[in-house]
């Protein structure tokens, strides 16, 4: 739990993975490629930043998920 880097909508994604907003709802957004743009927040979302959702001890993402 050392570093929690945050990103703004419209910024480039530094890595593929799942990101969560910082509002109480905790909206998540999965990004599959480096260099995508962070999306705007959902209409009911009061967040201001995205951050990587890397739960401690979580296993690597499972292969074979649907392609977008």
Q: What is the DSSP letter of 48?
A: -
CA distance 15 to 36: 9
Tokens encoding 22: 């910082």
Q: What angle do CA 24, 62, 22 make, to 5 degrees?
A: 15
Residue from 13, 21, 29, 50 in contact with Zn ion (CB under 5 A):
21
Per-residue string for binding with Zn ion, 28-67, x by CB under 5 A? -----------------x-x--------------------
27, 39, 51, 52: which one contacts Zn ion (CB under 5 A)?
Answer: 27
Q: For the window 1-20, what string marks contact with Zn ion as x by the rule CB under 5 A?
A: --------------------
């Amino acid at each position: 739990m050392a570093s929690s880097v945050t990103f703004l909508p419209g910024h480039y994604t530094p890595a593929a993975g799942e990101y969560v907003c910082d509002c109480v709802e905790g909206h998540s957004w999965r990004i599959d490629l480096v260099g995508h743009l962070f999306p705007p927040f959902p209409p009911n979302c009061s967040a201001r930043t995205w951050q990587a959702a890397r739960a401690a001890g979580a296993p690597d993402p499972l292969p074979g998920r649907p392609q977008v």
